[in-house]
Each structure stands twice: as structure tokens, then as C-alpha cells.
């Protein structure tokens, strides 16, 4: 997403090529022509000294005296280009744009002005894109594209087309993040029209195919993306694509004999082995819809698209992606359940489904930035089997006194990546107890607000502080003090 070179200033070179005496005085009695000549000469001199502001003042005066003088007009166009470039460097984008447009009004076919304006608008669009001001960036790009046919340099046109395709890719990512895959797909496809071998965009389209269980299309696009990711700086992307291709092939092989059904409300699409008991499938569907109602009410979130649910044996799950022994289900964009958990009876089945469905809702509401203590804490308090008991509170209070309780900040990364199995019960208990305290003291509305604000800003800590008026660490101090109060004789 490189900017196009510099907003080049050729004004001095252009001015220098025009004789300083271009506005010749035919007769000393012709005062107006003489004054125009003096103003023109002063303007050219200012340009040669890299003083475009002064040059514009003199040359505008000359142009007012002799608006039909081609030499004066060319010099004024050059001066406006030079001043616009300086204004752009100073961050005065609106003023710079006015100068470029004024130069274009004076000479609509001037190739230098067109090139400078295109470069300026492109740079502005890229800057707006980096600031995530996407609508402003789109408007700037649209103006660039309208001028592009008048630019002869292929290096500039290619760079702008690439930049615009990257804008479309980012816009597509934003739509994908808020569960609008159709809009995302349209933007990615448009991006590929301008940059057909962009590996990241191909991978993004493949992700949409994968999320929709369109496995053959996903595999084809992942392979095409891998073939396109040839640049040295794309080594990380290649590694990710190789892993996705490997996982997808395993998933395709395991699910080849599976059955897929939808519930009667169109809320869930469940894929499972053919030999799974029908009674268990029926119980899963019923419990999923109970979770939809209960958790949807707490979070005020009811997904508009079907959530994909997969049921595996532990061996099948491990064949796709190795999971720790203590994991009984997980959400990675699809809700994945283990049949051993579901076969443990209605209580365990309900707990697993409510827990993992909560993760799905949090992800849809807030995206990636939510820390694990929040994710797991909310998932546990929605699990009907996971209540914080008096004994739990006393255990945690004792650990507060002994200094054996982990800090909240140390439980932000995904638990399975940084915790051993023997430590997990305490980690889960702490996150459950803290989030339970947070909800009981401040209510569900603030939970909903912090998740929505996290989605809007992409920053959980900032969203938390703006919602609760304190940092997570500040609230953690309140909770620890509260624990000690509960444990007094």
C-alpha cells in the first residue's frame, strides 16, 4: 500500500524554461502590459528561489492584467502546483487541493497538474485509509480514478490501482468482521479485478468459502493464494496458508461421511457423523435454540445468519487440530462440540453448548481484542453448571492473602496457549468469579456496551475504561478487596 512517490514539484523547472521577458512590452506607454511583465518576472524569480507563495501572488496579479497571456498562465499554473505541494507537506490538504483544482481550471490539459493532483489525491486516500476513515478514503479514491485515464505514466496508474485494491480489501475485512460475508465477498472480488494475484485478498475470499463450508472452493483459493505469495515479506502469510490447506484437507476427509441439517428456525447448521444417535442430535438442536434465546437476551444479540456447528469424536477433533485433554469444545468461527461431552447427559450437553455459544456471540459482537479472562468468564457464567460458590470465594480470598492469585493482565492471551492443564481449574475459577462480580455489581448493560465499544474502536482496554470509568486493573482491586470482606469471620 505504497504512496505514489512524492507530490512532485516541477514548477521551478517549468518556470525556468519560460523567458523572464516573455511578456514583452511593445510600447512603454502600455502601462498595463508593462505592469503584467513586471509581475510575471517577479513571479518567475520567486519560483526560482523556491518561494511559491510569493510567486502565486505576483503571477495572479499578472494574470489579472493579461488573462489571455499564455506564458503568464503557464507560470501561474506552475506556481499553484508548487504552493500546493508545500501545503500538502504541511498537512493542509484542503488548501492544497484548492490550488491544484485552480491550476486545472487555468489549464485543464496540463499533464503536470493532472499528475500532481492524482498523486496528491492518492496519497490523501491512503492516509485516510490508514486512519480507518473509509468513507472519506473512498471519495478520494473515486476522484483519483476519474482522473486516471488522463495519466500516461503506467507506473503511477498501476500503483493507484493497487492502492485502491488494498482499500477494497480493508473495506471487505470490515464487512467480514461484522458478519456481512456477501458484502465482503463483493468488495474482495472488486479488489481482485484491479489486483488479480493479490495473495491476501485471495486468502480472504478463501476464508469466506471455508466459513460457509464451501470446502472445494476454499481449497482452490488457498492454493492460488499460496502460489501468489512469492515476495520475501510474505513468508508469514505462506506459513499460514500452508497450515490452512493442511487443516482443510483433514477436515474435508473427516467430514466426507457426515450429515448436515438445519434447525427449523434457520438459526443453526449442524454437521455430524451419520451414526450419531438421532436423540442426541435432537437434544443438541433444542439446546442450541435455548442458548439462542437465553444468551441472546443477556447480550442483546441474535445472529441473523446460521451458525455452523460441528460434532466430532475427540479423535476426529485431534486429527484436524490437536487440542488439550481438558478442552471439551471450542469456537473458532464454527462451534465445535465433542460427542463424549454431549453423551454425558443433558446437564453436560447444556453446559458445553451454552459455554461455546457464548464465545460465538462475544466474537460476533467485539471481534478479536477481547481478553481470555473476559471471554472465559462470560462463557462460564452463562453455563448453568458453573456458579461461584461460597467455598470458591473463600479459596480465592486465601490465595489473595498468600499472593497466589494470578493478575488479570496475565490471563489475557488464549488460555490453552499459555497454561498447563493442572493450573486450568484455578484460571477458570478466577475468570469466572471476577466476571460474575463485574456483572453483579455493574449489570449486563455495561457488558454489552464494552463489547460494542471494543468492536467500534478495536481496543478493549480503552473500551473498558470508557464504559466503566476505570481500568480492568482498578476493578480487579475492588474485587480482591470484596473477596477479603466476604471471608471475614
pLDDT, the chain, mean: 88
C-alpha cell at 318: 485431534
Given a cut of 90, whether residue 378 has pLDDT beyond it is yes
Quick one: average pLDDT of 65-75?
Answer: 93
pLDDT score at 277 = 93
| Long-range Cβ pairs for the range 312-319 (8 Å, 24+) | 312/254, 312/273, 312/336, 312/337, 312/338, 312/339, 313/273, 313/338, 313/339, 313/340, 314/338, 314/340, 316/254, 316/273, 319/250, 319/254
pLDDT score at 325 = 82
Task: For residue 271, give the H/E element and its range.
Answer: strand 268-273
pLDDT score at 343 = 85
C-alpha cell at 405: 492469585
pLDDT score at 289 = 97
More confident residue, 343 or 360: 360
Given a cut of 70, whether residue 29 has pLDDT beyond it is no
Strand partners, 271: 260, 310
Quick one: average pLDDT of 439-452?
Answer: 97
> Each residue of 208-234: pLDDT tens digit?
999 999 999 999 999 999 999 999 999
pLDDT class of 30 with cuts at 50, 70, 90: low
Given a cut of 60, whether residue 479 has pLDDT beyond it is yes
Instruction: Phi first, then psi: give them for residue 129, nearest 5 degrees.
Output: -65, -40
> Each residue of 248-268: pLDDT tens digit?
999 999 999 899 999 999 999
Contact between 190 and 221 under an 8 Å Cβ cutoff? The reply is: no
The full set of domains in the chain, from first to last, is: 11-152 (1.25.40), 177-249 (1.25.40.10), 263-356 (3.40.30.160), 367-489 (no CATH)
Report percent pLDDT > 70 for the chain. 92
> Each residue of 32-45: pLDDT tens digit?
888 989 999 999 99
pTM for this entry: 0.76
The dihedral built from the CA positions of residue 230, 232, 233 and 238, taken in this order, carries a sign that is positive
pLDDT score at 489 = 63
> Nearest-5° angle of CA 349, CA 355, CA 359?
140
| Residue partners of 231: CB distance under 8 A and separation at least 6 | none
Quick one: average pLDDT of 117-133?
Answer: 89
C-alpha cell at 67: 488573462
Given a cut of 90, whether residue 190 has pLDDT beyond it is yes
Quick one: average pLDDT of 82-91?
Answer: 92
> Each residue of 358-367: pLDDT tens digit?
999 999 999 8
pLDDT class of 384 with cuts at 50, 70, 90: confident
More confident residue, 341 or 232: 232
pLDDT score at 415 = 67
**Top-confidence range, 341-345, 347-351, 420-424:** 347-351
Given a cut of 80, whether residue 419 has pLDDT beyond it is no
Contact between 200 and 237 under an 8 Å Cβ cutoff? The reply is: yes
Instruction: Convert 142-152 to b/e letters by CB count within 10 Å (16 or more is b).
Output: ebbbebbeebe
Instruction: Phi first, then psi: give them for residue 471, nearest 5 degrees.
Output: -85, 165
Picking from 361, 391, 382, the residue whose alpha carbon sits closest to that of residue 452 is: 361
Quick one: average pLDDT of 437-462?
Answer: 95
Strand partners, 261: 270
> Each residue of 301-316: pLDDT tens digit?
999 889 999 999 999 9
How many CA atoms within 13 Å lie on the side-chain side of 179? 18
Given a cut of 70, whether residue 27 has pLDDT beyond it is no
> How far apart are alpha carbons 96 and 263 in whole angstroms?
58
Task: For residue 465, give the H/E element and its range.
Answer: helix 460-468
Task: For residue 307, give the H/E element and its range.
Answer: strand 307-312
pLDDT score at 434 = 96
pLDDT score at 1 = 42
Instruction: Phi first, then psi: give them for residue 413, nearest 5 degrees.
Output: -80, 160
The CA-atom distances, in angstroms, between 181 and each of 172, 173, 305, 361 are: 8, 9, 10, 17
Quick one: average pLDDT of 43-72?
Answer: 93
| Residue partners of 199: CB distance under 8 A and separation at least 6 | 225, 226, 228, 229, 234, 237, 241
Amino acid at each position: 500500500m505504497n504512496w505514489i512517490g512524492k507530490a512532485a514539484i516541477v514548477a521551478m523547472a517549468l518556470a525556468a524554461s519560460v523567458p523572464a521577458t516573455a511578456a514583452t512590452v511593445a510600447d512603454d506607454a502600455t502601462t498595463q502590459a508593462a505592469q503584467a511583465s513586471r509581475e510575471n518576472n517577479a513571479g518567475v524569480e520567486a519560483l526560482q528561489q523556491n518561494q511559491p507563495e510569493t510567486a502565486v501572488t505576483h503571477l495572479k496579479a499578472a494574470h489579472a492584467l493579461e488573462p489571455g497571456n499564455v506564458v503568464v498562465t503557464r507560470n501561474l499554473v506552475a506556481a499553484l502546483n508548487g504552493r500546493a505541494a508545500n501545503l500538502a507537506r504541511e498537512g493542509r490538504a484542503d488548501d492544497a487541493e484548492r490550488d491544484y483544482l485552480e491550476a486545472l481550471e487555468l489549464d485543464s490539459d496540463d499533464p503536470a497538474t493532472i499528475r500532481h493532483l492524482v498523486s496528491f489525491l492518492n496519497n490523501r486516500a491512503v492516509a485516510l485509509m490508514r486512519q480507518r476513515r473509509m468513507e472519506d478514503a473512498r471519495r478520494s479514491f473515486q476522484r483519483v480514478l476519474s482522473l486516471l485515464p488522463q495519466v500516461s505514466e503506467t507506473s503511477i496508474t498501476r500503483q493507484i490501482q493497487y492502492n485502491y485494491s488494498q482499500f477494497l480489501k480493508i473495506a471487505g475485512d470490515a464487512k467480514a468482521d461484522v458478519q456481512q460475508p456477501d458484502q465482503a465477498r463483493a468488495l474482495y472480488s472488486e479488489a481482485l479485478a484491479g489486483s488479480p494475484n493479490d495473495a491476501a485478498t485471495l486468502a480472504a475470499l478463501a476464508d469466506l468459502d471455508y466459513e460457509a463450508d464451501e470446502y472445494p472452493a476454499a481449497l482452490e483459493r488457498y492454493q492460488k493464494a499460496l502460489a501468489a505469495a512469492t515476495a520475501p515479506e510474505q513468508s508469514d502469510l505462506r506459513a499460514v496458508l500452508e497450515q490452512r490447506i493442511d487443516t482443510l484437507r483433514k477436515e474435508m476427509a473427516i467430514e466426507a461421511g457426515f450429515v448436515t441439517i438445519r434447525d427449523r428456525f434457520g438459526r443453526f447448521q449442524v454437521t455430524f457423523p451419520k451414526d450419531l444417535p438421532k436423540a442426541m442430535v435432537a437434544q443438541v438442536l433444542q439446546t442450541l435454540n435455548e442458548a439462542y434465546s437465553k444468551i441472546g437476551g443477556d447480550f442483546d444479540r441474535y445472529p441473523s445468519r446460521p451458525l455452523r456447528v460441528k460434532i466430532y469424536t475427540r479423535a476426529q477433533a485431534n486429527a484436524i487440530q490437536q487440542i488439550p485433554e481438558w478442552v471439551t469444545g471450542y469456537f473458532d468461527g464454527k462451534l465445535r462440540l465433542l460427542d463424549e461431552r454431549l453423551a454425558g447427559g443433558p446437564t453436560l450437553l447444556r453446559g458445553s453448548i451454552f459455554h461455546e455459544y457464548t464465545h460465538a456471540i462475544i466474537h460476533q459482537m467485539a471481534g478479536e481484542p477481547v481478553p481470555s479472562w473476559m471471554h472465559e468468564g462470560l462463557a462460564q457464567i452463562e453455563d448453568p453448571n458453573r456458579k461461584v460458590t461460597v467455598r470458591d470465594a473463600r479459596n480465592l480470598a486465601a490465595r489473595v492473602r498468600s499472593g497466589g492469585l494470578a493478575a488479570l493482565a496475565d490471563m489475557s492471551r488464549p488460555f490453552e496457549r499459555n497454561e498447563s492443564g493442572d493450573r486450568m481449574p484455578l484460571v477458570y475459577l478466577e475468570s469466572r468469579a471476577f466476571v460474575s462480580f463485574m456483572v453483579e455489581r455493574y449489570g449486563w448493560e455495561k457488558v454489552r456496551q464494552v463489547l460494542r465499544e471494543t468492536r467500534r474502536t478495536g481496543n478493549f482496554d480503552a473500551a473498558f475504561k470508557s464504559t466503566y470509568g476505570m481500568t480492568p486493573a482498578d476493578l480487579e482491586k475492588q474485587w480482591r478487596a470484596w473477596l477479603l470482606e466476604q471471608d471475614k469471620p
